[in-house]
């Protein structure tokens, strides 16, 4: 599974905790690699119990990236939709990492070349 999975704000809301655990399992299937470099956080908002927030942080030697998304309870009714939503969390984390790396790559590419 992942390096770590944290659940926050689920006290008194076991149905939301169950949805968060389902989302983590789907997320694990969507990610497929680097599980040991990924930390997942799931948060419930008891004042607004219509879903859960899922965040993923990927930490590699070259940097880190973070992606997050709110998953509405309706997203859990369709397995393909839930997989797509979880995939978007992963995509956002990768995009964040690549955006940070792009700055480094641009600096390397724009250095004068010696002939």
Please tell me the CATH code under which domain 4-109 is placed: 3.30.160.40
Quote the pLDDT of residue 7: 97
Q: Pick the closest to residue 88 from 74, 107, 69 (CA basis).
A: 69
pLDDT tens, position by position, 56-74:
999 999 999 999 999 999 9
Mean pLDDT on 77-91? 97
* Cα–Cα dist 96/87, whole Å: 14
Quote the pLDDT of residue 115: 67
Name the band, by pLDDT with cuts 50, 70 and 90, for residue 104. Answer: confident
What global pTM score does this model have?
Answer: 0.86
* Cα–Cα dist 23/20, whole Å: 5
Separation of CA 66 from chain center: 6
For residues 24 and 5, the answer to whether their CB atoms sit within 8 Å is yes
């Amino acid at each position: 599974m992942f390096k770590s999975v944290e659940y926050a704000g689920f006290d008194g809301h076991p149905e939301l905790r169950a949805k968060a655990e389902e989302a983590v399992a789907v997320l694990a299937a969507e990610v497929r690699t680097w599980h040991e470099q990924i930390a997942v956080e799931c948060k419930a908002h008891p004042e607004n119990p219509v879903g859960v927030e899922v965040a993923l942080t990927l930490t590699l030697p070259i940097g880190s990236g973070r992606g997050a998304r709110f998953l509405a309870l309706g997203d859990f009714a369709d397995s393909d939709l839930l997989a797509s939503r979880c995939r978007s969390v992963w995509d956002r984390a990768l995009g964040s990492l690549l955006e940070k790396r792009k700055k480094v790559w641009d600096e390397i590419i724009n250095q004068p070349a010696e002939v």
